[in-house]
Structure 1
Amino acid sequence: MPAPFLDADARHPLTRLDGEPHVQTVQLARVIDHPNIEVGDHTYYNDFDPVADHAARIAPYLYAGAPERLVIGRFCQFAHGTRFITSSADHPKRWFSSFPFAMFNHEVLDLYREEFARGRDTVIGHDVWIGHGALILPGVTVGNGAIIGAGAVVARDVPGWSVVAGNPACEVRARFAPEVAALLDRLAWWDLPLAEIRALVPVLASADVDALAAAVARLRPGR
């Protein structure tokens, strides 16, 4: 029986040429069980070091019951060192001192309760590639199809289908012309059944705009 095109249930989706699973690569939806993290199928993460808790590795400041969430789309690709610094890592910035006294003495917790409840969700779209060692800071939204360069520090929202790099991360270029990006948004291939995605791979693994337009007309005629 042939192997499935993609297996959303596999903990390790990547198989080496010798047939053994690449244990450093995991599908995050299969290894993360955290009430504040939502991960779409086929999103993978690679780490060179052993990982006991993938939620703590990629989002080290996000605790169960925090006021913010980390929402990650489908078919994302996260390199070693990808980190999401969520809102719970923030310190008061509007006040005269940023020191979080209430964390160490609960007698003053009431003074900090409103500030600690200001969590902003971090949202990563579909088909987003985040390079080695990139940091995504609190409350950022990354659009579909964006590429985050290695070592980038992303403090602002990232437009879909763009490439950003640097510290602070800035847009280097758009990946595609606006009309092509619009076609990709209409196609939203990540929401299609796997059989249809498999049939689309010759288009997705190309830069053939005519083939892309034809796929959109065939698969999303009224969209």
Structure 2
Amino acid sequence: MKPDVSKIYPRMNDNTICYLKNIIKNPNIIIGDFTFYHDFVDPKGFEKRNVLYHYPVNHDRLIIGKFCSIACGAKFLFNASNHTMSSLSTYPFPIFPEWDENVLVAEAWDNKGDIVIGNDVWIGYEAVIMAGVHIGDGVIIGTQAVVTKDVPPYAIVGGVPAKKIRKRFDDSVIDILQEVKWWDWDIDKIRENLQAIRSADLRRLQEVVTENK
């Protein structure tokens, strides 16, 4: 049976896992193919319960790549969760028009930009990703980690605030994986070479890239 990226629930008789791309309605949330979210109650509530302080007035985006695994309770906290630190007061005066009707609401917080997640990223249970953070391909984020800074490809991070525990692979392996980018292959090619991906057969993955040049 060929994988069907158009499904909401990819597993038969299992409504706890959904392909996020097929349930998102907000145009500022961009999800790659086969990225899934697991939730013990209802994964279809992801946009409301997990993407927080994501107000249209700020125009910030959540961008998540392909083949990511997002565990229950993971949260993405956007810029409007911040209070400005450039003012003498952290009180968000701009969100209350009775103080000054001419001030823009978005001036109440410091804008750190989009949250960008790479491909093949595993985000652990109840992890929190803060506004402006960029996470590279192949990263693993530990349970209940709070990620406040960018994470390089294929790093494992954990803790509060999250810190790098170690690299998943040697730099030479990471370089090959970043060149191969198997997640961008078509479905048939991934299926044909799935054993090579799962068994870390880098030579075969490089051969596939060479064959298609």
TM-score (norm 1): 0.88
For residues 202 and 195 of structure 1, the distance between their equivalents in structure 2, rounded to whole angstroms, comes to 13
1:87 maps to: 79
Matched, 1:144 2:137: yes
- Out of 3, 6, 11, the residue aligned to residue 9 of structure 1 is 6
- SS of 1:53's partner is helix
What corresponds to 1:154 in structure 2? 147
Picking from 82, 103, 119, the partner of 2:95 is 103
| Range moving further from structure 2, 95-104 or 159-168 | 95-104
- CA distance in 1 between counterparts of 2:159 and 2:126 reads 11
Give the deviation of 1:36 after TM superposition. Answer: 1.2
Select which of 68, 71, 76 maps to 2:63.
71
State percent identity of aligned pairs. Answer: 35
* Structure 1 unaligned residues grouped into runs of 5+: none
Q: Deviations over 1:14-49 (max 9, x none)?
A: 23xxxx2x1011111001110211111100000112
1:204 is aligned to: 197
More off after superposition, 54-63 vs 23-32: 54-63
The structure-2 alpha-carbon separation of the partners of 1:198 and 1:51, relative to structure 1 and needing over 3 Å to count, comes to: closer
**Scaled by the length of structure 2, what TM-score is found?**
0.92
Which whole-Å CA distance do the structure 2 matches of 1:150 and 1:56 have between them? 21
Q: Between Structure 1 and Structure 2, how many residues are aligned?
A: 212
Structure 1 residue 138, shift from structure 2 partner: 0.7
What is the Cα-based RMSD across aligned positions, in Å? 1.9
Alpha-carbon separation, structure 2, partners of 1:205 and 1:143: 20
Find the partner of 1:163 among 156, 178, 181: 156
Q: Structure 2 unaligned segments of length 5 or more: list them.
A: none
1:132 corresponds to 2:132 = no
